[in-house]
Amino acid sequence: MKITSTEAWPVELKLAEPYAIAYETVESVSNVFVRIETAGPITGYGVAAPDLAVTGETVQSVLTAWRETVAPSLKGSDPLRAARLMGRLRPALQMSPSVRAAIDMALFDILGKRAGLPIWKILGGYRDRIRTTITIGILPVEETVRRAVEHVKRGFKALKLKGGRNADEDAERVLRVRDAVGEKIELRFDANQGFTFEETIRFVDLVRPAKLELVEQPTPKGEPDLMGRVVDAVTLPIMADESLMGLRDAFRLARRGLADMVNVKLMKVGGIDTALQINSVARAARLEVMVGCMDEVALSIAAGLHFALGRPNVVYADLDGHFDIIDDPTDGAVILKDGTLYLNDRPGLGFDPPA
């Protein structure tokens, strides 16, 4: 089997509703779709979701990397030798994690289709479903509560609230949501690097009655010791997100005890293969793993879900990046039922475009 051609193209995606986090407001997103064709009937598909603030990439940088580096390197190669191909490409794509993720997805897709198996079974098939959070951006208290109640009525049993701009207001929103949804709903909070050490301690103290599951990335990624100080100062689990961009970061976080948990996003780390390596480091260090996402279409959400379902140490999922995308061209790649995500049983990543 040989790769005969590749293609990458951008798609602008509108969101049903803009949302706010600690450092920006998002109204629309762009994903870059990729296709790797082989000499046989098998074609692999992947997606890059570049984000300048998180991955350091733009749509144009992704397209340039594909045209100048990826396409020439992949043509004529054996797509089943993924480790060799990624090893050859990685040095040139060190600063392009979402490009690496897209290649990784497409190669896994080809592998699964060749084997006639879905990727989650190839990865170990630990579970066949996982509960996901649904995220509520930074909104006024009453609107936050209203959305939380609506999501619970739709069947979601886990909610993530965004914050990081004002610890006191964030705490009020958390407490009000807990009162509104009851004690059985899982509540998580993501500060997106917005707090100082002192603000984090104050927030954790204020929300103690709400029994939060975890606090995600409370302090700036550029000051890793601050998050370590938080870990030492509070009993609530602290999760690293923006501080985890690759395997070396996972080792550093684990070795120095800078986090209790880690959020692995394929777009940050460069795909399923690296995610598996990070998961092994986390498991050895007894750090639980959450699979997260950017604003991504269902196809790349499916890739994250395959990773989560395959390995036992991935115990949390925050795979809601496709929920608000209007006219997702890969709709159906994942299945949502009562706040739980499932995959179809088709080979590979489980999606092919309509003929």
So what's the pLDDT on residue 27?
78
| Residue 237 lies inside a defined structural domain of this protein | yes
- For residue 72, give every residue at least 6 positions away whose Cβ sits within 8 Å of its Cβ, in sequence order, or none: none
Residue 7 is a catalytic residue: no
Q: Given the residues 51, 241, 242, 260, select the one marked as catalytic.
A: 241
189 with 338, same domain?
Answer: yes
| Residue 125 lies inside a defined structural domain of this protein | yes
| Residue 352 lies inside a defined structural domain of this protein | no
Q: Given the residues 199, 216, 324, 328, select the one marked as catalytic.
A: 216
Residue 216 is a catalytic residue: yes
155 with 300, same domain?
Answer: yes
307 with 284, same domain?
Answer: yes
So what's the pLDDT on residue 218?
98
Structure tokens given for 168: 């006191």
228 with 321, same domain?
Answer: yes
Distance CA 178, CA 141 (A): 12
Provide the domain count of the chain.
2
Q: Given the residues 37, 57, 104, 190, select the one marked as catalytic.
A: 190
CATH number, domain containing residue 168: 3.20.20.120
Residue 190 is a catalytic residue: yes
So what's the pLDDT on residue 355?
66
| Residue 349 lies inside a defined structural domain of this protein | no
Domain final position from 115, 140, 156:
115
Q: Could you tell me which of 242, 178, 179, 175 has the C-alpha nearest to residue 205?
A: 175
| Residue 351 lies inside a defined structural domain of this protein | no
42 with 181, same domain?
Answer: no
97 with 154, same domain?
Answer: no
Q: Given the residues 113, 121, 160, 265, select the one marked as catalytic.
A: 265
Q: Given the residues 113, 121, 162, 268, select the one marked as catalytic.
A: 162
So what's the pLDDT on residue 174?
98
Domain final position from 64, 84, 115:
115
| Residue 354 lies inside a defined structural domain of this protein | no
Helix residue ranges per DSSP H, 182-336: 197-206, 224-233, 247-256, 266-269, 272-284, 298-310
Tallying the residues shown for the chain, one arrives at 355
| Residue 332 lies inside a defined structural domain of this protein | yes
Residue 160 is a catalytic residue: no
So what's the pLDDT on residue 21?
73
For residue 244, the enclosing domain spans 121-343
Residue 249 is a catalytic residue: no
278 with 308, same domain?
Answer: yes
Distance CA 204, CA 214 (A): 10
Per-residue pLDDT of the chain (355 residues; tens, 9 = 90+): 999 999 999 999 999 887 767 666 677 899 999 999 999 899 999 999 999 999 999 999 999 999 999 999 999 999 999 999 999 999 999 999 999 999 999 999 999 999 999 999 999 999 999 999 999 999 999 999 999 999 999 999 999 999 999 999 999 999 999 999 999 999 999 999 999 999 999 999 999 999 999 999 999 999 999 999 999 999 999 999 999 999 999 999 999 999 999 999 999 999 999 999 999 999 999 999 999 999 999 999 999 999 999 999 999 999 999 999 999 999 999 999 999 999 998 999 999 987 6
Domain final position from 115, 147, 168:
115
| Residue 271 lies inside a defined structural domain of this protein | yes
CATH number, domain containing residue 24: 3.30.390.10
73 with 131, same domain?
Answer: no
Contact criterion met (CB below 8 Å) for 31 and 49 = yes
